[in-house]
Amino acid sequence: MTLKDTPEEWEIRATETPFVGNKTSVRTDEVVMPDGSVVRRDYQVHPGSVGILAVDDQDRVLVIRQYRHPVRQRLWEIPAGLLDVPGENPLHAAQRELYEEAHVKAEDWRVLADVYTTAGGCDEAVRIFLARDLSEAEGQRFEAEDEEIDLEHARVPLDELVRGVLAGDLHNNCLVVGVLSLVAARAGDGLDALRPAEAPWPARPFES
């Protein structure tokens, strides 16, 4: 048995979009089940995202703390953001988000993991990068707005983040996946075996 997710699409008899927001929408599909019955499935349509696990030469991870209204919590997260346009190169998006949220640039980029955040109710796909060889970005700082005005920044040792994840103190999905993927990569084939930064991403195809 090969452990690999595979593309598949069941018949859709009808579809509608009852809500369209600024960045996402909600779609309702009538899907034919294997027994021939037809059921309605509601899900959020999402442009896709990138997350950046930026690690400095002291093995500290760059994290930010931000208020997230849907869960009514201020979460420790890694820099992340939406793909701005369909087909956007995810590496370029990640470099932009690292600059905007932390005013940092990185010289070494690898792909850590590709995930669907909530496959049962949303089609959001996230590519999480490992960024190393960090330095202060040049130029003017990005002007924050809304929740980002109140961002807190920190650099936290990787092992401290691992303990926080396993203790149930840290919940942001990109942080959890990124931190544990880095630990697993180091314990396995090593960071040189990680996919290159511009590896294909079938969930959100792009031009190099």
The answer to whether the CB of 77 falls within 8 A of the CB of 117 is no
For residues 165 and 163, give the distance between their C-alpha atoms in angstroms, rounded to a whole number.
Answer: 5
Active-site pick, 148, 152, 198, 207:
148
Residue 159 makes CB contacts below 8 A (sequence gap 6+) with none
Known catalytic residue at 148: yes
Positive or negative torsion for Cα 100, 104, 109, 114: negative
For residue 164, the SS3 value is: helix
Residues with active-site annotation = 148
